[in-house]
Every structure is written in C-alpha cells, then in structure tokens.
Structure 1
C-alpha cells in the first residue's frame, strides 16, 4: 500500500528553521520512497492532506520502558527506588499474570504510546515471578497486534537480595527472624532464564515483518552473576541485539562498590567494563550516580545512555550529568521508564523534563541542554539505542516509515516562533493527528485504528479491578520489610561518595 502525505512541513534537524517544505512525502510499503514537492498521486494510494500547516516528524522512540506495570499507574506514592520496588512488584505468586492479563496490560501501554506518536519502544519486561513461554508470547503478540515497533527483553535477576544490596548487615539486624528472606534464591535460575530467551529469540526476533525484535537484559550488573551476564552478552553479539543494564540509578547502587566485597571498590560501570561487557550494544539505563571515570568508560565503549528524567524525579534518584555525557560524545536516548513511575507513558513530557531539569545542575547556562539536543536524543539517540541507526529517527528516502503528523494550527504552535523550542517545551502529544509504523497508519485523531479501544478499556478495567485486592494484600505484606530497606537507603544517603546528584540539598 502507498500513502502520500501531501503538502506537509517536514522536520529537518539541519534546516535553520527546523523544517523544510511544504513537501510531499511518498511512502511505499514500509519505507519512505520520496520527499519532494508536487508529487503525483500513485494509483490506489491514500492521500493525507497537510494543507501546509501539519508537521511530519520521525516517530518518537521510547528507549526505556517496563510494560508489566502499565495497569498500576497512580497506585504507589513517590519513594526511593529500593522502597518503591517493594510495592511495585511484590514477591507474591498470586500476582503472576494470566496470558490474557499480560496481553491486556501490554496493549494498554501500546495504545497510549501510539496515540501520542510513539512508534517504537524498548520494553525491558520484568515478568514476575519468572517468564514463561505463554507470557512472553502474550506480551509480544500484543505489540504485534497493536502495530507498534517493539524490542523486547526479559528483565529478571538471578541472585538473592543479599548479593544485590549494600549495608546488608544492618538489614539483617532490622529484619531479625525474617533475615533469611535476603538469602532466598531468585525465582528463576540462569538456566531457566536462558531457556526463556531461547524461546523469545527463536519465536519473536524478526516477527511481524521485523517490527518485533528481541533484546537481552541483565536488569543490573549487581543482580546477576558474571556468567549469566556473559551468556546474555553472547546472545547480543550473535543476533545483533541491544543489551539493557540499569547502571548507577540510585545512591545505594553507588555505595555497592565499597559495601559489596565482590565489587572490590569499583563502581558498577568499572566492574562491567572490567568484565569486558561494556560494549556498543549496551544500553546504560539511568547513569545518574556516575563519575567522570564512569563516563569515560561509557564513551570509550561506544555505549548509549537511556535517560529517564521523569522517573528519576518521581523516585528521587537524582539528576543525570547530561552535559558531561554529551560533551564526551556519548549518545543519549530518552525513555519514560514504567507507567507506575511516570504515571503516564508520555515521551513528550519526558523531552520537556530533559530540557528543564539540567538547568538546576549548577552549570553555566551555556551548558544547559538545547532544544535541538533534546530532539536529537529523542530521535537519533533512540535509534542508536535500538540498533536501528540509519533506519529510524529521520524523515528521508530509504528510512523506515515510522512517522507522526502534528497539527500546527493549535495553541502549542500559535504563533510559530521557534519550532524546536515549541516541540520540546509546548507540545504534550495532544496535537498528534496521525501515527504511522512501517508505512501503516495505526492511529488517527487520538485513537488507535488497530484495536477496539473501548472494548479493550472495558475488559482491562474489569479484569484489573478484580485483581486489585490481591495487589493490596501483597503490598501490605511488603510493608513489613520497609524498616530494613529504609535503613539501607538512609545509610547510603549518609555515605560520602565524593559527589552528589541531588539538587536543593539541605
């Protein structure tokens, strides 16, 4: 099928005004075939009128996301990550999803993203208590059915809590008779998880005309053994996959270098590099509590940082050193993180936050992010993270036709003063009138065309309302662990690590 986007302005990062046009953009199959003025309408093509006041941009790329919490938005108050996780994903087998639940919650996120012009997502899915083929299939099938482009990994630890956290002796004292919980094995062994990956890669990598791809995830280096880490890295090398690793998201993670003997005083970035596992395919997720040595290692490796500023604010993690990373040439991408720690899946607000939060980092104003840099992270950084450079992130012939059309005849763009500034600081997704993935129109005028949204919402509302008492029961049980985890978080907060990523201070 062909689509002609007629008389549209086209986002162009190299143009002085940030756009060119009006132009016609011809899409044939899943690719952009031509960007030029006054194109004839191919026989049988659908014509979308831009009337000179609609802007065509690359589809937004959500570089970091966790779909299993899509149905939990607004249900946990702001807390530090280590406390937040007790209530976000409590360890309770009764909360294991059915395939239908996994499908519906994944679809909720896909619909929300497509409505706002997000055409690609990297889903670091934690499938509690462990992934099964049926649940992996349900998640991937939802993405396939929705029409979005998705890169799916399985975010599962395989070490006990005592090996993942600092200040464990204090936690044992606080837990008393329950201290043995820290030593319980993870729900799935490395062997079990590698079998799940074998299923994911063999069944879904390249599925849905290559819209669905696999990735691998260690969750975080402290949560896995070096052997499992190396096995996942081998999969990434063999199949050309991204590897996701949460690195130095919080201050407790910074203190692991001195508080966990196996790290021998090294930061988690240095530890990963010393294992030979910091590579160009690595997505360094968060990178908040990194120092100059860590950033040098990330730059030398050619890895990409996935920046999640809204999540970092929600959880009080701190402010990632944007200028220090950009100045080293490190590619930076943008992510929403999970719905429960953003309370929406809106990449436009993430871009705005990225354009603002670094202004309070104490840097000279010349070093604050520019709108152009934020947009580069949104598109070029996202493509780099997803290992689809040269295919995504720009509107030009030969690129995959993952596109979003914005109406500029709206409050956000009236008058049109500076396109880049208004895309970053004024747009919130409400002006997206069309979303296209792989040449197929999958959302128009605020509604996804691939599913029955109303029926989906009805079913999800009823299903997850019925499960809410189990969620609340599990969270109440987790509350007993709060004093021990709170003590650990406070001990880390009081530790001098030589720098801070918090602003405002005492």
Structure 2
C-alpha cells in the first residue's frame, strides 16, 4: 500500500516554529520513505493521495504510554477517592464479574475506538484481567486491538502476593478477622502467571506485522515476590520488551519503606535498584512520591517514567516532581492510566494537564514545563517507553507511518499563533482529520474505518447495562472493608515522611 500526503505541514521538534511545509510525505508499506516536494511513488504503484490543502499538519501519532483496558466500561462511575480506596470499587471480587471473551473484547474496543478518533496510534496496556488471565481472555483483548488497527503493547498486570504484603500499618489493626482475610493467596500463583506470559508471547508478540507486541508487568514491587520479579525481568531481557512497574504512586506506598520489614527503610525504587532489577527496559509508572535519591537511581538505570497527571489528580495522589525528573535527564512519557480514573481515553486531556498542573509547584515560572517539553514527553518519551525510539515518535524518513493529520483551520488553531502552545493548551482531538497506523488509514471522515463502530457501541451499551447490577452489588460488598483501608490512608496522610507532593495543605 502506498499513500502520498500532499500539501501538508509536518511537525518537526527541532524547527523553531515546530513545523515546516507545505510539502509532501510518501508512505510505502508501513514506512515513511520520503519527505519533500520532489518525492514520487514507484512508477506503476497503486497510490492513494491525501490532500492536506495547505492547512493540515502531519504529527507523529499520539502515544498513550500507560493504560489499563479492563476498566474501559466503568468511566464516570466512581467518585474521586485515594487509590487504595478506589481500587476496592474498581475491581471488586465477585465471581459474576469474571468477563466472557466477548465482554473482554467489547470493553477493550471501547477505548481503542476513542483513541483512534482522537489521534492516538499506540497504547501500552497494562491489563489486569480479573480474577486472572486465561488464554481465551488474552485472545479477546489482543483480537480487539488487531481488529481496530491500533498499535498495542500488552502486559498482564497481576499481583502475586497476598494483600497483607502490600499494605502498611496492619499491625495497628485490631480486627483479627480482617487482617487474617488479607493473607489469602491471589487466585493464580507465579507458575500460572508465567504460563500465561508464555502464551501471550508465543501467540501474539510481533503479530500483525509487528503492530501487536507483548510487554511484561510486576504491577508493583510490593505486590510480587523477588523470584517472580526476577522471572519477569528475565522475560523482559530475553524478549527485549518493556517491563511495567507502578512505583510510589501514593503516600501510602511511600510509607511501605518503614512499615514493611522487607523494604528495610528503602523506598520501592531503592528496593528495586538493590535487587538489580531497575533497568533501561523498565517503565516506572507514576513516581509521584519520589525523592532525589530515587530519581538519581532511575536516571542511572536509564529507565523511563510514565507520567499520568489526570489520574494523579482524580485519585488525589499528588503532583509528580516533573522538573526534577527532567533535571535528572529522565525520559518522561504520558499516559491516561485507565478510563475509570481519567474518565476518557482521549490523550489530549493528559497533554493539557501536564502543561498546567506543574505550574502550582511553587517553582519559579522559568522552571514550569514548556509546551515543547510536554510534546517531547508525548512523542519522544512515549517512544522510549516502548523501547522503539528509533522508529516511533517522529515524522521522519525511515520511521513507521503512525501519523495524525490535524486541520489547522479548526477551532483550536484559529487564529494560528503558536503551534506548540495550541497543541498543548487548545487541541481536544476534534481537529483530527486522519489517523494512520502502520501505513494504514484507520480513521477518517469522522469514522473508524476498520470495524463497524456503530454496531460495536450498540452491543456494548446493551451488554454493560445488563452487567451494572452485578457491579453495584459487588461494590456494596466491598464497602464492608472500606473503613479498614481508609484508616491506612489516613495514617499515611498524617505521617511525616520527609516530603510532600500535595498542594493547598498547611
């Protein structure tokens, strides 16, 4: 397949204005093969021409560097709560909530369609498949990504330790029955989880021309044993794929350093580094409650931080130290986290929030993020998180043709003042004209072109409306342990841990 974009502007991070053109861009197969007014397809090739009309701009496709697809159908359904409380209602335990393969397919597709409509071409899905992953559910998730045409890297985000190993302050709890209940093992042990990774890797990694890939995940260091963490790291090394690890998202997680003996006063980052498992393949997710020692270790390892500012606000986790991350030279990527704590799969809201939230850090305004830094996180940081910085994140010859065509005559750019500023602070995704993934147009003229979008959305509406009473019943049952988790959150909030990532506090 050959596509020629004519009379388009092209985003260029090195250019003073952020763009050049009008020019032409030639796509042959899944690769950008030429940029310039003199590019021409091979004689006799079947060429599709897309005219940019001298007012449309080709951007790199947006990269959603951190996401959890299993909650796609629950957006807007919960009030804002701290993570430890939010998770009780996000994925409560109930046998009737175990999804069928079709349900897993539909809920994955919900966000994928929204991402394609708004110009996101790549997603890193850290999928927690409750109660545990099976081949049938893995296939359903991957098939949804295969069918819609998005580029996806998918891991299995599952805990491998009992709940009592993940929480601080349990020794203060006088409800023995509650504490004892936390010692129950997770539904699938390490051998079972590694077996599911074998299936994911062998069945799906590199499929569909390399558009679908596997990643690996420990969920978080406090949620897994050292042998399992080492086994996951070994898979990451042998297959050359990213390893996802949530670290220091909340103050409760910072408190684990002194409240869980196995951490021996070390933060989760320091603990991971001491194990020799903090590497250039790791996506350190959130990193809100990190200090300079943590950031130095992340930088030394060459790891990437996945920054999720909307989720951090929704859950009250705090404001991540973005400027310090950049000071240490750490690549920062941007992520939605999940549709239930962003309430959208539109990455433009994350872009704008990243450009705004750090302005209340108390730092001098010269140290606030620039629009260019935010866009660098979106594209270069996202590509680094995928371990594909040599072929994604730029409109450049030899790079993969993952592209977003935006109309500069749209509301966000009228009048046209500054490209970077208007991309970060004004664009909402409404000006996306074409989304291309791997050289294939997957969204244009207001519709996703790869699937019957209307039929899928209608099916999803009917299916999940029928499931809602089960969700509500399970959430009511989860409320019985709410006071115990709330006590943990409140104790951490009151603790002096030598740092603060909240604003507006005394």
For 1:207-262, what per-residue CA distance to the aligned partner results, in whole angstroms no more than 9, with x for missing partners? 11100000000000000001000000000000001000000000000000000001
Post-superposition offset of 1:305: 0.1
Q: Which residue of 2 aligns with 1:311?
A: 311
Work out whether residues 164 and 179 of structure 2, in 8 Å CA contact, stay in contact via their aligned partners in 1: no
Post-superposition offset of 1:177: 3.1
- Matched residue of 1:464: which SS? helix
**Paired residues for 1:274-353 under 5 Å:** 274-353=274-353
Q: Which residue of 2 aligns with 1:452?
A: 452
Residues in 1 aligned to 2:262 and 2:93: alpha-carbon distance in whole angstroms: 26
Q: Which residue of 1 aligns with 2:373?
A: 373
Q: Which residue of 2 aligns with 1:164?
A: 166
For 1:118-162, what per-residue CA distance to the aligned partner results, in whole angstroms no more than 9, with x for missing partners? 000000000000000100010011101110000000000011111
Residues in 1 aligned to 2:181 and 2:37: alpha-carbon distance in whole angstroms: 66
Residues in 1 aligned to 2:34 and 2:396: alpha-carbon distance in whole angstroms: 7
**Paired residues for 1:154-303 under 5 Å:** 154-170=156-172, 172-173=173-174, 175-303=175-303
For 1:26-57, what per-residue CA distance to the aligned partner results, in whole angstroms no more than 9, with x for missing partners? 00000001000144465421110101100100
- Matched residue of 2:337: which SS? coil
Work out whether residues 2 and 41 of structure 2, in 8 Å CA contact, stay in contact via their aligned partners in 1: no
- Matched residue of 2:147: which SS? helix
Residues in 2 aligned to 1:406 and 1:286: alpha-carbon distance in whole angstroms: 29
Work out whether residues 26 and 40 of structure 2, in 8 Å CA contact, stay in contact via their aligned partners in 1: no
- Matched residue of 1:51: which SS? strand
Unaligned runs of 5+ in 2: none
Q: Higher mean Cα deviation, 244-253 or 411-420?
A: 411-420
Residues in 2 aligned to 1:390 and 1:445: alpha-carbon distance in whole angstroms: 31
Residues in 2 aligned to 1:141 and 1:405: alpha-carbon distance in whole angstroms: 26
Q: Higher mean Cα deviation, 179-188 or 35-44?
A: 35-44
Q: Which residue of 1 aligns with 2:90?
A: 88
Which TM-score applies when normalising by structure 1? 0.99
For 1:34-82, what per-residue CA distance to the aligned partner results, in whole angstroms no more than 9, with x for missing partners? 0001444654211101011001000000000000000000111100000
Work out whether residues 279 and 301 of structure 1, in 8 Å CA contact, stay in contact via their aligned partners in 2: yes
Q: Higher mean Cα deviation, 177-186 or 402-411?
A: 177-186
Residues in 2 aligned to 1:447 and 1:82: alpha-carbon distance in whole angstroms: 38
Work out whether residues 205 and 212 of structure 2, in 8 Å CA contact, stay in contact via their aligned partners in 1: yes
Residues in 2 aligned to 1:283 and 1:40: alpha-carbon distance in whole angstroms: 40
The answer to whether 1:32 aligns with 2:3 is no
Unaligned runs of 5+ in 1: none
Work out whether residues 435 and 444 of structure 2, in 8 Å CA contact, stay in contact via their aligned partners in 1: yes
**Paired residues for 1:409-488 under 5 Å:** 409-488=409-488
Residues in 2 aligned to 1:313 and 1:389: alpha-carbon distance in whole angstroms: 29
For 1:147-203, what per-residue CA distance to the aligned partner results, in whole angstroms no more than 9, with x for missing partners? 000000000001111100111123x42x45333221111111001000000000000
- Matched residue of 1:101: which SS? helix
Q: Which residue of 1 aligns with 2:108?
A: 106
Work out whether residues 170 and 179 of structure 2, in 8 Å CA contact, stay in contact via their aligned partners in 1: no
Work out whether residues 406 and 434 of structure 1, in 8 Å CA contact, stay in contact via their aligned partners in 2: yes
Residues in 2 aligned to 1:329 and 1:81: alpha-carbon distance in whole angstroms: 28
Aligned pair count reads 504
Post-superposition offset of 1:8: 0.2
Post-superposition offset of 1:410: 1.4
Post-superposition offset of 1:445: 2.9
Work out whether residues 116 and 446 of structure 1, in 8 Å CA contact, stay in contact via their aligned partners in 2: no
Work out whether residues 93 and 474 of structure 2, in 8 Å CA contact, stay in contact via their aligned partners in 1: yes
Q: Which residue of 1 aligns with 2:385?
A: 385
Work out whether residues 6 and 51 of structure 2, in 8 Å CA contact, stay in contact via their aligned partners in 1: yes
For 1:422-471, what per-residue CA distance to the aligned partner results, in whole angstroms no more than 9, with x for missing partners? 00000011100100000000001332100111100110111111111111
- Matched residue of 2:35: which SS? strand
Work out whether residues 86 and 478 of structure 1, in 8 Å CA contact, stay in contact via their aligned partners in 2: yes
Residues in 2 aligned to 1:164 and 1:4: alpha-carbon distance in whole angstroms: 53
Q: Which residue of 2 aligns with 1:494?
A: 494
Q: Higher mean Cα deviation, 161-170 or 77-86?
A: 161-170
Residues in 2 aligned to 1:270 and 1:40: alpha-carbon distance in whole angstroms: 53
Residues in 1 aligned to 2:266 and 2:398: alpha-carbon distance in whole angstroms: 44
Q: Which residue of 2 aligns with 1:8?
A: 8
Residues in 2 aligned to 1:490 and 1:446: alpha-carbon distance in whole angstroms: 47
